[in-house]
Structure 1
Amino acid sequence: MVNITTVITNLSLPINDALPAIEATLLASNELVLEAPPGAGKTTVVPLALLNAPWRNGKKIIVLEPRRLAARNAASRMASLLGERCAETVGYRVRMDNCVGANTVIEVVTEGVFTRMLQADPTLDDVAIVIFDEFHERSLDADLGLALLQQSNVLYGDMREQPIKTLVMSATLNGSQLSDYLGGAPVVTSEGRMFPVDVAYSDPYTPQQDSAARAAQAVNKAIAEYKGSILVFLPGRKEIEACARALRNWVEAGELPKALAICPLYGDLSLADQQQAIAPAGAGTTKVVLATNIAESSLTIEGVSIVVDSGLQREARYDPNTGMTRLNLCRISKASAEQRAGRAGRLEPGVCIRLWSKSQQSELAQYASPEIQHADMVPLALQLLQWGEADCAQIPWLDAPAPARYTQAIELLEQLEALKDNGGGISLTALGEAMAGLPVHPRLAHMLVVAKQLALQDLACTLAALLSERDIGTANMGADFSRRVHWLLQPQGAPKQLQGALKRLNALKKMLAQQLNRVTSPSLERALAVSEVIVLSQQEQIALLLACAFPDRIARARKNNPTQYLLANGRQANLFNDDSLVGEEWLVVAEASSQQGRSNDIIRLAAPISLALLQQAFSAKLVEKNVCEWDENANRIVSEQRVALGAIILSAKQLTQADPALRVAAVRALINKKGLGVLEWTADAINLRARLQLLHSVDTNWPSWSDELLLGAIDDWLSPYLHSVNTGADLRKVKIAEALTATLSWEQQVELDKLAPVSFCVPSGRDVPIDYSQNPPVIAAKLQELFGSAIAPSIVNGKVPLLIHLLSPAGKPLQVTQDLMSFWRGAYTEVKKEMKGRYPKHPWPDDPIMAMPTRKTKSQLSRT
Structure 2
Amino acid sequence: MSQLPIQALFEPLQQALSTHRQIILEAPTGAGKSTALPLAMLSWPSINGKILMLEPRRVAARSVAHFIAQSLGEKVGDSVGYRVRGDTKVSRHTRLEIVTEGILTRMIQQDPELNGIDVIIFDEIHERHLPTDLGLALTLEVQDSLRDDLTLIAMSATLAGLPLQQLMPEATLLVSEGRSFDVEQVYRPVTRQQPWLEHMANVIAESVKTDSPHVPQQYQMGSILAFLPGKGEINKLQRLLSQKVDTQVFLLCPLYGDLTPAEQDNAIAGAPKGKRKIVLATNVAESSLTIDGITIVVDSGYKREASFNPRTGVSRLSLKRISQASAIQRAGRAGRLAPGCCVRLWAQEEQSRLSKAEAPEISVSELTTMALECAYWGESNIENLPLLTAPPAIHQQKAWQLLTQLELVDANHKISPHGKAAYELGCHPRLAHMLLQSTVLAKTQKQPELVSLACLLAAVLEARGLPKKGVDISQYLSLATQGLMAAQVNKWQASLSVSSDIKQLARDAASRDISTLLALAYPDRIAQARGKQGFRLSNGTGVTIDIEDNMSTHEWLVVADFQESQGRNAGRVYLAAAINPEHLKHDLGLLISEHKVCEWDEAKGRFFAEKQQKIGELIVSRSLESNVDSDLIVQALINHIQSKGLSILNLDERFYQLQCRVKLAQLYAPEYDWPSLESADLLATLSEWLAPYLVDVNSIAKLQKLDILSQVKNLLTWSQQQTLNELLPTHWKMATGTSAPIHYQIDEASDKGCEDIDQASDEVLASHSVRGRALLRVRLQEALGLSQSPLLLHGKLVVTMELLSPAQRPIALTADLASFWQGPYVEVKKEMRGRYPRHLWPDDPANTTATKFTKKKTPGLK
Q: Same fold (TM over 0.5)?
A: yes
Instruction: For residue 186 of structure 1, report the CA deviation from its aligned partner.
Output: 1.1
Instruction: For residue 728 of structure 1, report the CA deviation from its aligned partner.
Output: 5.6
Contact preservation (8 Å) 1:34, 1:175: no
Secondary structure at the aligned position of 2:69 is classed as helix
Contact preservation (8 Å) 2:608, 2:628: no
Contact preservation (8 Å) 1:449, 1:516: no
Deviations 1:389-415 (A, max 9, x none): 233233222222233322322222233
Secondary structure at the aligned position of 2:83 is classed as strand
Instruction: For residue 671 of structure 1, report the CA deviation from its aligned partner.
Output: 6.0
Instruction: For residue 377 of structure 1, report the CA deviation from its aligned partner.
Output: 1.2
Secondary structure at the aligned position of 1:516 is classed as helix
Instruction: For residue 352 of structure 1, report the CA deviation from its aligned partner.
Output: 1.3
Say which is worse superposed, 698-707 or 180-189, in terms of deviation: 698-707
Note closer, same or farther for the CA distance 1:316–1:830 as it changes in structure 2 (3 Å cut). Answer: same
Task: Report the equivalent of 2:356.
Answer: 366
Note closer, same or farther for the CA distance 1:596–1:374 as it changes in structure 2 (3 Å cut). Answer: closer
Contact preservation (8 Å) 1:259, 1:285: yes
Amino acid at match of 2:20: S
Note closer, same or farther for the CA distance 1:534–1:65 as it changes in structure 2 (3 Å cut). Answer: closer
Task: Report the equivalent of 2:694.
Answer: 722
Contact preservation (8 Å) 2:821, 2:845: yes
Instruction: For residue 195 of structure 1, report the CA deviation from its aligned partner.
Output: 0.8
1:433 and 2:433 correspond: no
The within-5 A match list for 1:589-604 is: 589-594=559-564, 598-604=568-574
Task: Report the equivalent of 1:346.
Answer: 336
| C-alpha separation in 1, matches of 2:176 and 2:645 | 58
Instruction: For residue 300 of structure 1, report the CA deviation from its aligned partner.
Output: 0.4
The within-5 A match list for 1:546-625 is: 546-558=518-530, 561-594=531-564, 598-625=568-595
| C-alpha separation in 1, matches of 2:617 and 2:419 | 25
Say which is worse superposed, 669-678 or 116-125, in terms of deviation: 669-678
Say which is worse superposed, 92-101 or 661-670, in terms of deviation: 661-670
Amino acid at match of 1:55: S
User: Could you state the TM-score of these two structures normalised by the residue count of structure 1?
Assistant: 0.87
Secondary structure at the aligned position of 2:338 is classed as coil
Task: Report the equivalent of 1:301.
Answer: 291
Say which is worse superposed, 539-548 or 308-317, in terms of deviation: 539-548
| C-alpha separation in 1, matches of 2:351 and 2:699 | 57
Aligned equivalent of 1:640, options 585, 610, 631: 610
Note closer, same or farther for the CA distance 1:536–1:839 as it changes in structure 2 (3 Å cut). Answer: farther
Secondary structure at the aligned position of 2:573 is classed as strand
Note closer, same or farther for the CA distance 1:144–1:307 as it changes in structure 2 (3 Å cut). Answer: same
Note closer, same or farther for the CA distance 1:86–1:751 as it changes in structure 2 (3 Å cut). Answer: closer
Task: Report the equivalent of 2:33.
Answer: 42
Deviations 1:277-322 (A, max 9, x none): 1111122322111110010111101111111111111122222111
Structure 2 spans left out of the alignment, 5+ residues: 443-448, 499-504, 747-771
Amino acid at match of 1:427: I
Task: Report the equivalent of 1:231.
Answer: 225
Contact preservation (8 Å) 2:650, 2:705: yes
Structure 1 spans left out of the alignment, 5+ residues: 1-7, 490-504, 523-532
| C-alpha separation in 1, matches of 2:428 and 2:603 | 39
The within-5 A match list for 1:30-109 is: 30-57=21-48, 59-109=49-99
| C-alpha separation in 2, matches of 1:124 and 1:632 | 68
Note closer, same or farther for the CA distance 1:825–1:647 as it changes in structure 2 (3 Å cut). Answer: same
Contact preservation (8 Å) 2:528, 2:537: yes
Amino acid at match of 1:312: Y
Amino acid at match of 1:615: K
| C-alpha separation in 2, matches of 1:635 and 1:242 | 59
Instruction: For residue 41 of structure 1, report the CA deviation from its aligned partner.
Output: 1.3
Say which is worse superposed, 348-357 or 774-783, in terms of deviation: 774-783
Aligned equivalent of 1:163, options 144, 149, 156: 149
| C-alpha separation in 2, matches of 1:449 and 1:265 | 36
Secondary structure at the aligned position of 2:552 is classed as coil
Say which is worse superposed, 286-295 or 644-653, in terms of deviation: 644-653
Task: Report the equivalent of 1:529.
Answer: none
| C-alpha separation in 1, matches of 2:829 and 2:611 | 74
Contact preservation (8 Å) 2:404, 2:413: no
Secondary structure at the aligned position of 1:326 is classed as strand
Say which is worse superposed, 720-729 or 180-189, in terms of deviation: 720-729
Contact preservation (8 Å) 1:434, 1:520: no
1:396 and 2:386 correspond: yes
| C-alpha separation in 2, matches of 1:401 and 1:314 | 21
Contact preservation (8 Å) 1:555, 1:566: yes
The within-5 A match list for 1:610-759 is: 610-628=580-598, 639-668=609-638, 681-696=651-666, 697-698=668-669, 700-701=671-672, 703-707=674-678, 710=682, 714=686, 716-726=688-698, 731-746=703-718, 748-759=720-731
Secondary structure at the aligned position of 2:662 is classed as helix
| C-alpha separation in 2, matches of 1:596 and 1:535 | 37
Note closer, same or farther for the CA distance 1:278–1:736 as it changes in structure 2 (3 Å cut). Answer: same
| C-alpha separation in 1, matches of 2:36 and 2:79 | 14
Deviations 1:724-770 (A, max 9, x none): 45566655544331112234455554554444332123344432210
Task: Report the equivalent of 1:479.
Answer: 471
Task: Report the equivalent of 1:496.
Answer: none
Deviations 1:673-697 (A, max 9, x none): 7876665542111112323343443
Secondary structure at the aligned position of 2:461 is classed as helix
Note closer, same or farther for the CA distance 1:645–1:631 as it changes in structure 2 (3 Å cut). Answer: farther
Deviations 1:344-398 (A, max 9, x none): 1100111111111222222222121111111111111222222232332332222
1:450 and 2:437 correspond: yes
Aligned equivalent of 2:238, options 216, 239, 244: 244
| C-alpha separation in 2, matches of 1:257 and 1:269 | 21
Task: Report the equivalent of 1:787.
Answer: 784
Task: Report the equivalent of 1:26.
Answer: 17
Say which is worse superposed, 536-545 or 834-843, in terms of deviation: 834-843
Contact preservation (8 Å) 2:630, 2:695: yes
Contact preservation (8 Å) 1:448, 1:457: yes
Secondary structure at the aligned position of 1:318 is classed as strand
Note closer, same or farther for the CA distance 1:837–1:49 as it changes in structure 2 (3 Å cut). Answer: farther
| C-alpha separation in 2, matches of 1:175 and 1:565 | 43
Say which is worse superposed, 389-398 or 662-671, in terms of deviation: 662-671
| C-alpha separation in 2, matches of 1:534 and 1:85 | 38
Instruction: For residue 258 of structure 1, report the CA deviation from its aligned partner.
Output: 4.5
Instruction: For residue 858 of structure 1, report the CA deviation from its aligned partner.
Output: 5.7
| C-alpha separation in 2, matches of 1:831 and 1:595 | 65
User: Could you state the TM-score of these two structures normalised by the residue count of structure 2?
Assistant: 0.87
Note closer, same or farther for the CA distance 1:150–1:656 as it changes in structure 2 (3 Å cut). Answer: same
Say which is worse superposed, 793-802 or 233-242, in terms of deviation: 793-802
Task: Report the equivalent of 1:173.
Answer: 159
RMSD: 3.1
Contact preservation (8 Å) 1:779, 1:802: yes
| C-alpha separation in 2, matches of 1:181 and 1:748 | 49
Deviations 1:464-498 (A, max 9, x none): 22222335343xx5422222335x27xxxxxxxxx
Task: Report the equivalent of 2:179.
Answer: 193
Q: How many residues align?
A: 812
Deviations 1:761-783 (A, max 9, x none): 33444322100234231112233
Secondary structure at the aligned position of 2:277 is classed as strand
Task: Report the equivalent of 2:751.
Answer: none
| C-alpha separation in 1, matches of 2:247 and 2:622 | 71
Task: Report the equivalent of 2:749.
Answer: none
Note closer, same or farther for the CA distance 1:217–1:681 as it changes in structure 2 (3 Å cut). Answer: farther
Aligned equivalent of 1:832, options 829, 840, 860: 829
Task: Report the equivalent of 2:189.
Answer: 203
Instruction: For residue 440 of structure 1, report the CA deviation from its aligned partner.
Output: 2.2
Note closer, same or farther for the CA distance 1:535–1:659 as it changes in structure 2 (3 Å cut). Answer: farther
Contact preservation (8 Å) 1:569, 1:646: yes
Matched-pair identity in %: 41
Secondary structure at the aligned position of 1:214 is classed as helix
1:771 and 2:743 correspond: yes
Instruction: For residue 334 of structure 1, report the CA deviation from its aligned partner.
Output: 1.4
Contact preservation (8 Å) 1:434, 1:519: no
Secondary structure at the aligned position of 1:84 is classed as coil
